[in-house]
Amino acid sequence: MYCPNIDDAEHTLFSCPRWYKEKQELQILLGGEVNTENLVEHMLSKAEAWETIKKYMGNIMRNKEEDERKQGM
């Protein structure tokens, strides 16, 4: 929907320009870059990081589903 021909979780959570602001906010809260290589490390670093990442992913997926419903997908 946002990036034709690319619609997987990795792209959505780490690369999609649609979610750039949200990813920047996540990285500020965690104090560094978040990518597929260090996601688990961040998640296990402390309980607050786990909750922050969980919220980030949940919000993106919820908003994406809402956008898809609006588009009639």
User: What are the average pLDDT values for consecutive 10-residue runs of the chain, which has 73 residues?
Assistant: 85 93 96 96 96 97 92 79
pLDDT at 1: 77
* Interhelix angle 47-71/20-30, nearest 10 degrees: 170
What per-residue confidence (pLDDT) applies to 23? 96
> What is the spatial distance between Cα 6 and Cα 12, in angstroms, rounded to a whole number?
9
Instruction: Please name the residue that has the structure tokens 């780490």.
Output: 14
Output the pLDDT for position 3. 87
User: According to the model, what pLDDT value does residue 73 have?
Assistant: 64
Model confidence, pTM? 0.84
